[in-house]
Amino acid sequence: MEPEKRITLYEIKNSVWLEKAKFPQAYLPCSPVPSDEELKTNPVAPKVWAGLQEFGVTSAMLLEAAEKGAKNSIIGTYRIVLYQVQAHDIEKERSRVIDDDKPEVKRNGASLKDFSNLAKLKYR
């Protein structure tokens, strides 16, 4: 089939079959060696940088790796940490939204939310 005749991604997402589907948002871009300004403005950058430092990755290593291209192990580590940080934040937000949407059901004066919060604390 000719590429011009294919439907676009936008058309696929808005098709009848996928009208109720929820598509994940793209992850935020983050520089491998963030500037001071990016560390202040991008909420993900400090977490990624802290994660990289835990693995012993320095800014010099990242600068050197950036010259070698995307298949470098340091860049791979950066991408994994970036994904983990953003996936954790998205999951935390998803859990918060789900907990907020639960109806408040009371049993003996306590809500089920109270019990679910206790269970979360107990098994951490």
C-alpha span between 89 and 95 (Å, rounded): 10
Structural contact between residues 99 and 108, judged by C-beta atoms closer than 8 angstroms: no
**Residue 39 DSSP class:** H
Report how far Cα 39 is from the mean position of its chain's Cα atoms.
17
pLDDT at 57: 92
The mean pLDDT of 71-94, rounded to a whole number, is 85
pLDDT at 124: 44
pTM higher than 0.75 for the full model?
A: no
Q: What is the pLDDT of residues 30-61, one digit of tens each?
A: 777 778 888 888 888 888 889 999 999 998 99
Lowest mean pLDDT of 19-23, 80-84, 90-94, 111-115, name the range: 111-115
C-alpha span between 116 and 121 (Å, rounded): 9
Q: What is the pLDDT of residues 90-120, one digit of tens each?
A: 777 777 766 555 555 555 555 545 545 544 5
SS in 3 state form for 53-104? HHCCCCHHHHHHHHHHCCCCHHHHHHHHHHHHHHHHHHHHHHHHHHHHHCCC
User: Which candidate, 44, 85, 41, 39, places its Cα nearest to that of 59?
Assistant: 39
